[in-house]
């Protein structure tokens, strides 16, 4: 009786390929840099409670950066 579970494809050396490639790590790094920039500028803004950047720009950048990291984790090059 054959099993319906497929084994992961392996390379010639018998190792399982890495799930993320170089481009994925590059995209993740961009997302982390944007997150660090957003939090840093919120911290350095003089009137942090009512500042324009703290209230309007930074939240949009943070949501976008977290979405970018999710995209980076799921991204695959076309074969």
Residues 62-71: tens digit of each pLDDT: 999 999 999 9
Look at the pTM and tell me if it is higher than 0.75.
Answer: no
4: left (phi over 0), alpha (psi -120 to 50) or beta: alpha
Burial letters for 12-24: b for 16+ Cβ neighbours within 10 Å, e otherwise?
A: eeeeeeeeeeeeb
Question: What residue spans define the domains of the chain?
Answer: 22-74
Q: Who's near 16: CB < 8 A, 6+ residues apart?
A: 8, 10
pLDDT tens, 12-58? Answer: 667 888 788 999 999 999 999 999 999 988 888 766 677 888 888 89
């Amino acid at each position: 009786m054959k099993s319906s579970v497929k084994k992961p494809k392996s390379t010639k050396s018998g190792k399982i390929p890495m799930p993320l490639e170089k481009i994925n790590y590059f995209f993740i790094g961009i997302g982390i840099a944007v997150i660090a920039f957003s939090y840093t500028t919120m911290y350095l803004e003089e009137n942090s409670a009512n500042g324009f950047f703290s209230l309007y720009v930074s939240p949009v950048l943070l949501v976008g950066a977290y979405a970018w990291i999710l995209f980076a984790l799921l991204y695959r090059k076309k074969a």
